[in-house]
Structure 1
Amino acid sequence: MGEFLDRARQHELLLQLRDEYPHWKVFDLKGDEEGRRETVNLHYLLEHRLIDGQPRFSSMGDKSVLWKVRITHDGLDFLAADGGLGAILGVVTVKLHDDTVRDLLIARVEEDGTKDNATKVKLKETIRGLPAEMLSTLVKKAMETGLGHVGDIGAWIHHVIG
């Protein structure tokens, strides 16, 4: 049945259902090859949660299938050029508390073998006194510098996350 998967037809189905949204659309499919092809594509969209609904056998004699389906919010977002609300709501925000950034910076100062103790003490005092805005600027600059030293970003990410 995998040979019945048809990206163009799936797209057409989603567009039809988008035009009916939020209402349900009924497909009465026969048991022939065309009906099986349509059923395979509807099942595929259903499994990916782009549509909601389920098939019901309307008559066992000719194996026709009655589908009552509608597009989901994921289906609408899939069709949207900008990814829809899912793209906006799916943004991941990483928050580092000021104390965490300070602790990371202080740990790096302590690990630095090129600085003498008096310099390290002075740097640590400076770090402890930095306002949140300055810590934010330092984190951004550290990210830019760190990423600037990564040759192949894809290989580096793969290496880090395993």
Structure 2
Amino acid sequence: MIEVSAAPLDRDLQRRILVALAELYPAAMALPDLSPQFRAEPLFVRNLMYLSGHGLVVASAVRKSPASMPEILRAEITPRGLDFLADDGGLTAILGVVTVKLHDDTIRQIMLDAVDAAEAPDGIKEKLRAAITDLPADGVKAAVPALLRQALDAAPEAIRLIGKSLGL
């Protein structure tokens, strides 16, 4: 039986486990195949169960007693584990894309809040507020890419100012 210590998790060992299982995919690694490769690894069971807990592998294990470490019978990598190893994140990255939709009224309100917060004469602010309020949805939609580009261009200066104010 493999001895497990209370040492921290081992990222290198986790990667080696995943790679070994990926090489067998779609087959699983059974106990006779598993033990020789990782026999000298005292943290093997701990790291395999950790990977299993995150859904990167499926490990079949038995416990001889409630207080004992599980004995691994079989392990296989999951599609999520394969994607984790992939440089591009695999299908998980493609399928996990989150689309954020902002209603034109939400964008309009953000623009109005920015006008209110700006340092400008009240007369100019009122004209801007009126123009934004009267802007049709297509106009709001057309303004978003330019506003986003402007915000991203200003990001380095904003980061510098934040750092300066924090004494960094």
How many matched pairs?
A: 150
Name the Cα RMSD after superposition: 3.5
Sort the Cα spacing of 1:146 and 1:97 in 2 relative to 1 into closer, same or farther, 3 A: farther
Give unmatched runs, 5+ long, in structure 2: none
TM superposition shift of 1:122: 2.8
Determine helix, strand or coil for the equivalent of 1:150.
helix
Alpha carbons of 1:77 and 1:146: their partners in 2 closer, same or farther (altered >3 Å)?
A: same
Is 1:47 the equivalent of 2:48? no
| Counterpart residue number, 1:123 | 128
1:40-67 per-residue CA deviation (whole Å, 9 max, x = no partner) reads 3322322332211221259xxxx99342
| 3-state SS of 1:67 partner | strand
Structure 1 residues 153 and 12: CA distance shift in structure 2, 3 A: farther
How far, CA to CA, are the matches of 2:131 and 2:95 in structure 1?
A: 38
| TM-score w.r.t. length of structure 2 | 0.66
Give distance in 1, aligned partners of 2:93 and 2:18.
Answer: 19
Unaligned runs of 5+ in 1: none
Contact conserved, 1:77 with 1:84, CA < 8 A, in 2? yes
Write the letter of the residue equivalent to 1:90.
G
Greater displacement, 75-84 / 44-53: 44-53
Give me the whole-angstrom Cα distance separating, in 2, the residues matched to 1:53 and 1:154: 47
C-alpha offsets along residues 101-120 of structure 1, whole Å, 9 cap, x if unaligned?
A: 11222233345453233x33
Tell me which residue corresponds to 1:108: 114
Q: Distance in 2 between matches of 1:4 and 1:116?
A: 60
Matches within 5 A, 1:126-141: 126-127=131-132, 128-129=134-135, 131-141=139-149
Query: Cα 1:9–1:106, aligned 2, differ >3 Å: closer, same or farther?
Result: closer
Question: Retained in 2: the 8 A contact 1:4–1:41?
Answer: no
8 Å CA contact 1:52–1:69 kept in 2: the answer is yes
